[in-house]
Amino acid sequence: MPPKKNPLNLNPLQLKTLTLLQELARLDEHAVPADEPGHVLVSDLPRPHGDHFHLGASVVLSRDASGLNNEAVWLALQRKGLIQSQFPVAAILTPAGLGYETGLRDQILHSSHH
């Protein structure tokens, strides 16, 4: 039997937020190793300008990033063991959070054209 998609039953906003935190964890300007092995501290969260913001070479629509400013979303991700919340300034992604397949990366990270 193949692994279940979204085994923690994250809602769409939680999935989008985790996807963005995972992408931030890949960018040197936003991420550093945390104290615990395998954990990554993500900080300096991007601020939208207009209807989008930039993550590395990608563009994210502001509507796909509302969870970055929603404490309830962060707390839900924390309860499920995916992050350690330091809302609103930082999140520590756990190994489970870094490895969770959200299936949204290609849908919400768009190639930058400017």
pLDDT (tens digit per residue) in 42-66: 999 998 888 999 998 999 999 999 9
As a whole number of angstroms, the distance between CA 29 and CA 16 comes to: 20
20 pLDDT higher than 90 = yes
Query: What's the confidence (pLDDT) of residue 1?
Result: 63
Per-residue pLDDT, averaged over 74-94, amounts to 98
Phi-psi category of residue 68: left, alpha or beta, with phi > 0 → left and psi -120 to 50 → alpha: alpha
As a whole number of angstroms, the distance between CA 19 and CA 65 comes to: 10
Query: What's the confidence (pLDDT) of residue 58?
Result: 93
As a whole number of angstroms, the distance between CA 86 and CA 58 comes to: 25
pTM to 2 decimal places: 0.94
Domains and CATH numbers, the chain: 12-111 (1.10.10)
Q: Which amino acid does the sequence have at 14?
A: Q
Average pLDDT, the chain: 94
